[in-house]
Structure 1
Amino acid sequence: MSVNPVESARQALRIEASALQALVDRIDERMAQAVAAVLSCQGRVIVMGMGKSGHVGRKIAATLASTGTPAFFVHPAEASHGDLGMITPQDVILALSNSGESDELAVILPVIKRLGVTLIAITGGAQSTLARHADCVLDSRVDQEACPLNLAPTASTTAQMALGDALAVALLDSRGFRPEDFARSHPGGALGRKLLTHVHDLMRQGEALPCVAPDTPFIDMMRVMSAKALGCAAVVDGDGRLLGIFTDGDLRRLVERGADLRALSAADVMHTQPHTVRAEALAVDAADLMEQARVTVVLVVDDTGHLQGAVSSNDLMRAKVI
């Protein structure tokens, strides 16, 4: 009998989608109980599971840890050979087992109960050994696996993963977890760079700034621009207060008009309303301003309008903010 791989794949997704939809109606006060148990936990969430449930458990532990709930995975088989020492009475255990009868979990359940540790189970076996020992049970049962033999853990592990995500999101909301909090646990990622990098971390300042006075002759201003290689010159008064800006684009437009450049000064050609940001602003906000204004450099000023620095699109790209 020939098998249509496209239809087989579609059917697998239909089964898993149906299993996930069925979970929605089963979310009840038991989820609220699980969230309350974790929120009141003085230690960490210890996630356990064997086989495919163990792989799912590792992902759930990582998701919890990255969203404000300290968590790590402990292998049940290793737990009975010493790793139970990682668990303290202040912890909460989140155990995963589709059947609820995994031998490696069952053997350590009495020890867990003697420790007085709160046990949350994600299982499809409502009357299983794991469910009977648990303080809270999140029902992950599925009508069938996506596997045509109804053997390989597919829909059941998808349900476990989804319940773990649901628990993590409910905890995240309950904690008031913000994007900035998420970024702090992902400093090496793109999101971390966007939410943790400020303009003052990247801006050019001091001798690196191309600054001129308003009466600076045009030719001298061009020498400053070339030396600083920022593509612009900031025009400031004697106190360092920003008056305007002149850019490479302005130069091209002057040349196209045939202007007598030797007769001009910085004040004659500057724009008096340059785009500016504050040093404490996020670098990604500076990037958004550049995109909206269609410029490649923004100047950094303080509350009194004094020039503090400048940041370019190249600076943002080197920092991988954009």
Structure 2
Amino acid sequence: MKPNQNYLTSAQRTLDLEIKALQGLTEHLDSAFEKACERVLACKGRVVVTGMGKSGHIGNKLAATLASTGTPAFFVHPGEASHGDMGMITEQDVVIALSNSGEVAEVVTLIPLIKRLGAGLIAMTGNPDSTLGRSADAHIYCGVEQEACPLNLAPTSSTTAALVMGDALAIALLEARGFTADDFAFSHPGGSLGRKLLLKIGDIMHGGLDIPRVEPDTLLRDALLEMTRKGLGMTTIISADGDLLGVFTDGDLRRTLDQGIDILTTPIRAVMHSGAYTMHPGQLAAQALYEMEERKITSLVIVDAGETAGVIHLHDILRAGVA
């Protein structure tokens, strides 16, 4: 079935109108935006975002974006605020109120309460001369000439404009705070980025009795038994003094067998790979993965204060979701 061309025409018209609305926002970026940023940066409490209807949905997203980028924030429904939730706002907080008209009753009702409390007030509206716009310490203009709705009624372009301006505010604050990838990861520990930037080798390595280890005079046959017991596809070779002398891997075994070496009479020191590359348990698991890929190996010996502290295998990193 061919798509109805009217559907595509309508969609293109919507996109064009909303793109035009966003382009118009840049003309209204001024000192009021800077003042809003400074007010939030100076806030000793939390940022409380509020809005009714579609503006409330945008406000919820803004609060979440702020909280995940270094600005502690949460959303309060204006209707609930009038029935007890005003107790969630303190004099040290800054309230960001969203309303395209700036006159929505549920939000306007809160203005004298916010002022009496002594909290800061930032307005995001399409009408700076509205009750909300005039009452705010800083007003961020989010107005649009026309909604994408052909009736010019349903909030479409206006909510997109508020959404993007909220993102602009969040990113301006992020950069002003010097918010780093590590900070972002701390706010997103369950995400792949969080695991890459937070998970250390020491969190997932095999240590203690789980480390495959043999002495240099151990027969290759017995070394293979140790590798099988520990299941990491390798073994470390440790001297009597506890020094790491080398490693022997599944790959080394294949090469050894190709050479016709007798596993029943050959000591591991004769076939081990000396000078093993090592890492520290405090390094990132993501860095271990990078080193394995670069060196085309599947395991690493982990050394701490000169002692063999553990072994990490490629599969450990993949199971941890770092890749």
TM-score bracket for the superposition, by shorter chain length: over 0.9
| Structure 2 partner of 1:277 | 279
Give the Cα–Cα distance (whole angstroms) in 1 for the partners of residues 177 and 86 of structure 2.
28
> How do residues 1-322 of structure 1 correspond to structure 2 at under 5 angstroms?
4-304=6-306, 306-322=307-323
Q: How far, CA to CA, are the matches of 2:289 and 2:152 in structure 1? A: 52
| C-alpha distance in 2 between matches for 1:10 and 1:246 | 63
Q: Which string of whole-angstrom CA distances, capped at 9 and with x for unpartnered residues, describes residues 30-61 of structure 1? A: 22211111111111111010100000001111
2: CA distance, partners of 1:260 / 1:283 = 37
Structure 2 SS opposite 1:252: helix
Per-residue CA deviation, residues 66-93 of structure 1 (Å, 9 max, x unaligned), is 1221111111112222222221111101
Q: CA deviation at 1:101?
A: 1.2
1: distance between equivalents of 2:213 and 2:196? Answer: 29
Q: What one-letter code is carried by the residue in structure 2 that aligns with 1:116?
A: G
Residue aligned with 2:273, SS: coil
- Letter paired with 2:224: M
Deviations 1:132-185 (A, max 9, x none): 111101110112222233222111111111111111111111112222222222
- For these two proteins, the number of residue pairs brought into alignment is 320
Amino acid at match of 1:281: Q
| CA distance, structure 2, for counterparts of residue 251 and residue 197 of structure 1 | 32
CA–CA distance in structure 2, aligned partners of residues 14 and 303 of structure 1:
62
Change (3 A) 1:9 1:258: farther
Q: Shift of the alpha carbon at 1:288?
A: 1.4
Change (3 A) 1:145 1:239: farther
The whole-number CA distance in structure 2 between the counterparts of 1:239 and 1:25 is: 72
CA deviations over 1:266-288 (Å, ceiling 9, x no partner): 12212223232111001111111
The structure-2 alpha-carbon separation of the partners of 1:18 and 1:238, relative to structure 1 and needing over 3 Å to count, comes to farther
Q: Distance in 2 between matches of 1:149 and 1:268?
A: 84
1:292 maps to amino acid: E
Secondary structure of the structure 2 residue equivalent to 1:240:
coil
Secondary structure of the structure 2 residue equivalent to 1:226 = helix
Describe the superposition over 1:95-131 as per-residue Cα deviations: whole angstroms up to 9, x where unpaired.
0011111111112212222222211011111211110
Name which of structure 1's ranges 128-137 and 245-254 shifts more when overlaid on structure 2: 245-254
Contact 2:219–2:263 under 8 Å retained in 1: no
TM-score, normalised with respect to structure 2: 0.93
Amino acid at match of 1:220: D
Hey, what's the Cα distance between the residues in 1 that align with 2:138 and 2:216? 73
Identity of aligned residues (%): 52
- Give unpaired runs (5+ residues) of structure 2: none
C-alpha distance in 2 between matches for 1:3 and 1:179: 44
The SS at the match of 1:93 is: strand
Shift of 1:231: 0.2
Letter aligned with residue 180 of structure 1: D
Deviations 1:218-241 (A, max 9, x none): 111111111111100111222222
TM-score by length of 1: 0.94
Report the residue type matching 1:10 in the other structure: Q
What letter is aligned with 1:13? L
Tell me the SS of whatever aligns to 1:100: coil
Q: Using the TM superposition, give the Cα deviation of residue 319 of structure 1 relative to its aligned residue in structure 2, in angstroms.
A: 2.2
Contact 2:215 2:239 in 1 (8 A): yes
Q: CA deviation at 1:206?
A: 1.4
Gaps of 5+ in 1: none
- What's the secondary structure of 2:28's corresponding residue? coil
